[in-house]
Chains A and B, each alone.
Chain A
Amino acid sequence: MKKKLLIIFNILILLFSSCYGMEPIENISIMIGIGYDIDKEKSKKISDPIEMFVFKGDGEIERHISSGVAETIYNTVNDRQTIMSKKFVVGTEKLYLISEERAKYGIEDLLEVLIRDENRNELAYVAITEGRTEHFFKMTPIDNTSMSEAIAGILKFCYLANFFPREVNIKELLFMYNQSGRRIILPYIIDDNGKPKVTAICVFEGSKLKHKIPLEEAFYINMLRSRKSEGYISVLEDNNPKKCYTIKAKNFVNVSVEYKDTLIYNIDLTLKGVLKADSINNKPLTDKDAKKIEKAFEENISKEIEKTIEKVQNNYKIDCFDITKYAAAKFGKHSPLLSDEEFQKAKINVKVKVILVDLGRSIK
């Protein structure tokens, strides 16, 4: 009796738990990149181009770009499906692109959708583009099969230089938007002679794009806001490119905050570097020389960072360094000290320390 029951159960479970309503891969288009554009003048404002892989059989794969125009984000699916001959699969996307105009208009709806829709891929990369995102998807990829993979690759490895943070994905976007004392900061991509290129960072106020900071300044902002990222720093003598020190540095940041009439942030920035070039001394180095080089870097970086902080506090007037979260952790998540006014008045002391962990092959 027991055995019979067991067999019946197993047959029932097999019968009722098959993949009903599923399609073979030839009938499926796999989404790899989603863009968000806007046409402010038209009645149907939202325009979302999507890049997808289409399987043609015989192992042939092609990419298609299909744009949907409608009133809201999900209504674009209505528009898109009317011209598509394949089933649409969500959840495999690798890249989200948001056009600059759309970001200035606000992306509240997108941020809500990303939380509510559990099928979205939280590990997809995200960036802001100059001009329409459709233009970026329509470029010809050189070393990848699709533009989405190409741009996702750029964003994935951008932490290896310029001190970009390690994670530039949807998950981090949601964290930056929701956690108190933080704001959205995303990379900005332009079309550089038919190739995508990161040239700036975009700082948001709430869900709207506020400032676009070019990479020269963003270099030092990134140095303070990211953790354990990498970048190359050089100190030039007499502005002569042939005479310089260069290090490849990894940044370690420690922030403490206190309140005495104004907020005081004490930032300990430690750069652990490997010396890559020293064409000023041009000889095998000793420990004494290393100390001298460290000192030169510390002075140079401190000066640049001070300049950057002054510019951020006076020109941009919002916290681009991602340090208000430390105040939130100390004074409470609803504290009035987290406002932009308090940030403008705040005193930010940065103590730079450069440690050369390796002097290269040429040592004494």
Chain B
Amino acid sequence: MSKVIENKITQRQYIFILVSAVVGIGILSAPNSICQIAEQSGWISMIIGGIYPLIICYCSYLNYKHFNNTHFYQLNERLYGKFIAKIIFLFFLITMIIYEASVLAGFYNILSKEIAFFLSPYAVLILVSLVIIYTASFGLQSIGRLSEIVFYFSSILFLFPLAIIGKGSFLNIKPIISSVENILNSVPSSFYSYAGIEISFFIMPYVVNKKNFKKAGFVSTAIIVFIYTFLTFICIYYLGYELTTKIYYPVFFIMETIEVSIISDFKVVFIFLWSGMILKIMACDHYVVSYTFSRLTRIPYKKSCIITWPFILMFAIFMIPEHGRNVFLGKSVPIIVFTILTYSIITAIMVKIKGR
């Protein structure tokens, strides 16, 4: 327990932890899901959907403003009482386990489909999750450092699509707005891409320098929204919305069509760099899982890292074929996202009433 509290992160690390907790598997399939209804205007829905991480970041800023450095669990206790605080934490625990397991399962699905079709699921799942637990057991500080470094490396990833910038056509983007109704209807599905930002509630008390804390939330939201919007825009611009809705991972299709003289298949390079991001997002999620678990059961942080492992594996095996994962997430994520949205708005109001 005491080790966790000693962990401190800088404001820049806070920004990168938020970014790495959101940007993961979603960047590959988000263009596909958003274009189903919004068609060629999907990228506008993506920008509007940025309101979800913005709200969450602002709420965690309000928590800080009125309750200072109170930990999230104590804050809930003061606002709602002991019993309800436990329920809320249980909800967050399950949510984060679902997120982490879905990323783990999705990672295997992509590996098995695109490059490593000869590996058995258990080898990948167990090894990757062991590495994650090992990383997460060092606590928040090392996750913060890791997020920052890996982000710099893997941001090369977002330069690759620039290779096809001259080959697409603006005719695919036009007419920019054909139906306002469709754009607004597909905004909720962009919320699901931004799921994972809830980590900001948990790590907020550990930020050392809180001078421009409001700005940090905005900056991380801006980075996340930019990444998602950029990839969605590139996909529609290059493939047209018709093909984007037919191919589940449109970003891979773009990577396959990049012609570079030495490298025969650019997709492999992309997956290699992107794996770093996946390990990072799982480490962030596992930190929150173990943190909430240790708060609920009063088991020390490092032990709870290992105790939560079977749950994650169980959920992940449950989601192994990609279509099975989609069915599960399609049902659970909307409920989670809207519960968290309502919860954070109510908390913000309560904080304003009860806080200093």
Residues of A at the B interface (CB closer than 8 Å) are: 5-6, 9, 12-13, 16-17, 19-22, 115, 118, 122-123, 171, 174-175, 178-180, 325-326, 328-333
Contact = CB atoms under 8 A, between A and B. Distances in A.
B257 A329 contact: no
Chain A interface mostly helix, strand, loop or mixed?
helix
A332 B175 contact: yes
B118 A325 contact: no
Nearest to A325: B171
B175 A17 contact: no
Interface of B: 39-40, 113-114, 116, 118-119, 123, 127, 130-131, 134, 170-172, 174-175, 178, 239-243, 246-247, 252-253, 256-257, 259
Contact of B240 (A5, A9, A123, A178): A178
Nearest to A112: B246
Give the top 5 A-B pairs by smallest Cβ distance, nearest first: A329-B174, A179-B240, A16-B123, A329-B171, A178-B242
Nearest to B170: A329
B243 A175 contact: yes
A123 B259 contact: yes
A115 B253 CA distance: 9
A337 to B, nearest CB: 13
B175 A330 contact: yes
A174 B123 CA distance: 36
A333 B40 contact: yes
Most chain A Cβ neighbours within 10 Å, of B114, B116, B170, B243: B243
Nearest to B249: A118
B254 to A, nearest CB: 10
B252 A175 contact: no
B118 A19 contact: yes
Chain B interface mostly helix, strand, loop or mixed?
helix
B39 A122 contact: no
B118 A22 contact: yes
B160 to A, nearest CB: 15
Nearest to B39: A333
22 contacts: A5-B134, A9-B127, A9-B131, A9-B134, A17-B116, A19-B118, A20-B118, A20-B119, A22-B118, A115-B243, A171-B257, A174-B243, A175-B239, A178-B240, A178-B242, A178-B243, A179-B172, A179-B243, A329-B170, A330-B174, A330-B175, A333-B39
Nearest to B244: A178
B171 A326 contact: yes
B134 A122 contact: no
B118 A21 contact: yes
A6 to B, nearest CB: 8
B76 to A, nearest CB: 34
A171 B259 CA distance: 12
Contacts of B246: 115, 178
B123 A17 contact: yes
B243 A328 contact: no
